[in-house]
C-alpha cells in the first residue's frame, strides 16, 4: 500500500480529510523557557532589589519604593478594588472579594494561585535580582495571610534565577493600637511567623515598621499624608544605604559588603535624625544615642541585643571642613557601646548637598521582640500558647 493510500485510510477512519502526512514518533527537545524581560531601575544602588507588595498596606510600601526609582516591583491582593489606587504597573489579583481580615482565607487564595504568583514575579522582576523583599501589613488579611507561602515562593524564585541571596527580605508594618482587636491579633500571629522564619534562616532582613510609634513621631502629619510619610521614613533610609554603598567617599566609605552583612543579620531597624548644633561634640553623640534608643520606626525592640549596625553621617561642606574627626569618632564609639558586647558597627562619612549634618542608622542582629509580641497579644485579646 502506498503512503497516499495509507493517508486516505487514516482520513476515512478519523472522519476527516485534512491529514497530509503521518508524523513518526521523533524525540523532540523541550520548548525553550520564555526569558523574562530585563527591567532596569531608575536608581544607582549597590544591590538590585525587587519588591512584592502583599495586601493594601504592603502595596503602599512597594509603591513607595517605586517612587524612589525601583522598578522591579509587583503587587498582589485578594480584592481588585484594593489595588486600584496603587500606582504600580504590575498587579495580580488572587481572589474574588477580599479576605475580610481573615488570614486563612488569604492563604487559601494564594495556595490556589501559587504557580501564577511565581510566573507573575518572574515577569515583574526579570532575572537580574539580588534579593526579593516582601512588603506586607501584619494586621490585614491579604498581607498577613500570604506572608509565609510568599516567602517560600520567593525562595523558589531566588533559586531559579540564581539570586545572590538565599534569604528573602520582609518589610512588615504593624498596626496602630486603635485598629482593633482582630487586627492586632493578626499582627501578633504574623510577626510571630516572621520571627520564626528568621530563626529558620529563611528570612533576612526582617524590617519592622511600627505604625503606632510612627504616628507619635509624625503626630502633626495630616491624615491624607500619614501613610506616605510613614512608609517613606523607612524606605528613604533603606534606599540611602543602598545608594551610598555603591558610592566612593572622600572621607570614609560604607560599602556593599557592609550593607549586605547587616541585611543578612536577621531583624533590622532603620533610623535617621538631624544634628542641628553639630559644633558641640556632645550633641552628635546624643543624636546617635537617641536614634538608636528611640529614634527608629520600631517600638518594643531591644537595641541592646543587636550585634551589627551601620551608621552614616552626611554633612555639607562647611560641616565637614570644620568638624573635628575626634567628634565623629566619639559619636561612633557611643553607638557601639549601646549595642551588645562584641558588636560590629560599619561607618561611613559622606559629603552631601545640604549644609546640615544628618545621622542615618541601620541596626541588625536584634533578638525576637518579645515586648512587642506581648503587647500585640494583649491588644488582640489572645491567650499565651505554651
Residues 6+ apart with CB under 8 A from 202: 151, 152, 155, 167, 168
243-258 tens-digit pLDDT: 999 999 989 999 999 9
Look up the pTM and report it.
Answer: 0.87
Phi, psi for 43 (deg, rounded to 5)? -125, 160
Mean pLDDT over 212-239 rounds to 85
Q: For residue 57, is pLDDT > 60?
A: yes
User: Which band of pLDDT confidence, cut at 50, 70 and 90, is reported for residue 330?
Assistant: confident
- C-alpha 192/C-alpha 305 separation (Å) is 18
Q: For residue 151, is pLDDT > 60?
A: yes
183-202 tens-digit pLDDT: 999 999 999 999 999 999 99
**Amino acid 302: pLDDT:** 87
284-300 tens-digit pLDDT: 888 887 876 664 566 67
124-145 tens-digit pLDDT: 999 999 999 999 999 888 989 9
Residues 6+ apart with CB under 8 A from 251: 320, 349, 350, 351
Q: Is 310:254 a contact under the CB 8 Å cutoff?
A: yes
User: Which band of pLDDT confidence, cut at 50, 70 and 90, is reported for residue 172?
Assistant: very high
**Which residue is associated with the grid cell 513621631?**
217
What is 49-243's CATH number?
3.40.50.1440
Q: For residue 368, is pLDDT > 80?
A: yes
SS3 annotation, the chain: CCHHHHHHHHHHHHCCCCCCCCCCCCCCCCCCCCCCCCCCCCCCCCCCEEEEEEHHHHHHHHHHHHHHCCCCEEEEECCHHHHCCCCCCCEEECCCCCCCCCHHHHHHHHHHCHHHHHHHHHHHHCCCCCEEEEEEECCCCHHHHHHHHHHHHHHHHHHHHCCCCCCEEEEEEECCHHHCHHHHHHHHHHHHHHHHHHHCCCEEEEEEEEHHHHHHHCCCCCHHHHHHHHHHHHHHHHHHHHHHCCCCCCCECCCHHHHHHHHCCCEEEEEEEEECCCCCHHHHHHHHHHHHHCCECCCCCCHHHCCEEEEEEEECHHHHHHCCHHHHHHHHHHHHHHCCCCCEEEEEEEECCCCCEEEEEEEEEECCCHHHHHHHHHHCCCCCCC
User: Which band of pLDDT confidence, cut at 50, 70 and 90, is reported for residue 207?
Assistant: very high
Q: For residue 4, is pLDDT > 60?
A: no
Residue 17 sits at the vertex; the CA angle it makes with 11 and 20, to the nearest 5 degrees, is: 80
Domain-wise residue ranges, the chain: 49-243
**Amino acid 386: pLDDT:** 44
Mean pLDDT of the chain, nearest integer? 88
Q: For residue 16, is pLDDT > 90?
A: no
Percent of the chain with pLDDT over 90: 58
Mean pLDDT over 29-35 rounds to 62
**Amino acid 148: pLDDT:** 96
- C-alpha 226/C-alpha 216 separation (Å) is 11
Amino acid at each position: 500500500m502506498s503512503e497516499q493510500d495509507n493517508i486516505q485510510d487514516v482520513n476515512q477512519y478519523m472522519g476527516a480529510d485534512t491529514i497530509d502526512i503521518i508524523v513518526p514518533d521523533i524525540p523532540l527537545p523541550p520548548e525553550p523557557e520564555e526569558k523574562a524581560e530585563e527591567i532596569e531601575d531608575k536608581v544607582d544602588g549597590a544591590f538590585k532589589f525587587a519588591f512584592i507588595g502583599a495586601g493594601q498596606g504592603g502595596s503602599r510600601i512597594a509603591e513607595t519604593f517605586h517612587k524612589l526609582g525601583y522598578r522591579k516591583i509587583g503587587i498582589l491582593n485578594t480584592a481588585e478594588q484594593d489595588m486600584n489606587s496603587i500606582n504600580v504597573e504590575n498587579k495580580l489579583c488572587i481572589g474574588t472579594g477580599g479576605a475580610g481580615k481573615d488570614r486563612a482565607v488569604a492563604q487559601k487564595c494564594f495556595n490556589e494561585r501559587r504557580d501564577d504568583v511565581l510566573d507573575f514575579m518572574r515577569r515583574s522582576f526579570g532575572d537580574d535580582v539580588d534579593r526579593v523583599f516582601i512588603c506586607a501589613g501584619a494586621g490585614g488579611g491579604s498581607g498577613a495571610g500570604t506572608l509565609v507561602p510568599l516567602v517560600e515562593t520567593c525562595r523558589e524564585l531566588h533559586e531559579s534565577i540564581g539570586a545572590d541571596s538565599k534569604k528573602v527580605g520582609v518589610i512588615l508594618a504593624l498596626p496602630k493600637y486603635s485598629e482593633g482587636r482582630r487586627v492586632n491579633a493578626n499582627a501578633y500571629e504574623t510577626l510571630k511567623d516572621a520571627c520564626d522564619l528568621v530563626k529558620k534562616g529563611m528570612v533576612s532582613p526582617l524590617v519592622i515598621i511600627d505604625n503606632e510609634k510612627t504616628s507619635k513621631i509624625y503626630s502633626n502629619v495630616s491624615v491624607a499624608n500619614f501613610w506616605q510619610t510613614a512608609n517613606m521614613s523607612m524606605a528613604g533610609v533603606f534606599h540611602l544605604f543602598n545608594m551610598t554603598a555603591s558610592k566612593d567617599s572622600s572621607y570614609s566609605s560604607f560599602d556593599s559588603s557592609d550593607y549586605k552583612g547587616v541585611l543578612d543579620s536577621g531583624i533590622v531597624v532603620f533610623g535617621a535624625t538631624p544634628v542641628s548644633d553639630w559644633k558641640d561634640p556632645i550633641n552628635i553623640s546624643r543624636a546617635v544615642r537617641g536614634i538608636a534608643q528611640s529614634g527608629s520606626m520600631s517600638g518594643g525592640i531591644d537595641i541592646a541585643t543587636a550585634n551589627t549596625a551601620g551608621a552614616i553621617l552626611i554633612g555639607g561642606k562647611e560641616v565637614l571642613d570644620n568638624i573635628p574627626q575626634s567628634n565623629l569618632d566619639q559619636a561612633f564609639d557611643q553607638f557601639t557601646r549601646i549595642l551588645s558586647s562584641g558588636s560590629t558597627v560599619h561607618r561611613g562619612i559622606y559629603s552631601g548637598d545640604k549644609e546640615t549634618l544628618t545621622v542615618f542608622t541601620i541596626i541588625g542582629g536584634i533578638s525576637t521582640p518579645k515586648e512587642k509580641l506581648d503587647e500585640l497579644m494583649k491588644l488582640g485579646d489572645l491567650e499565651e500558647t505554651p
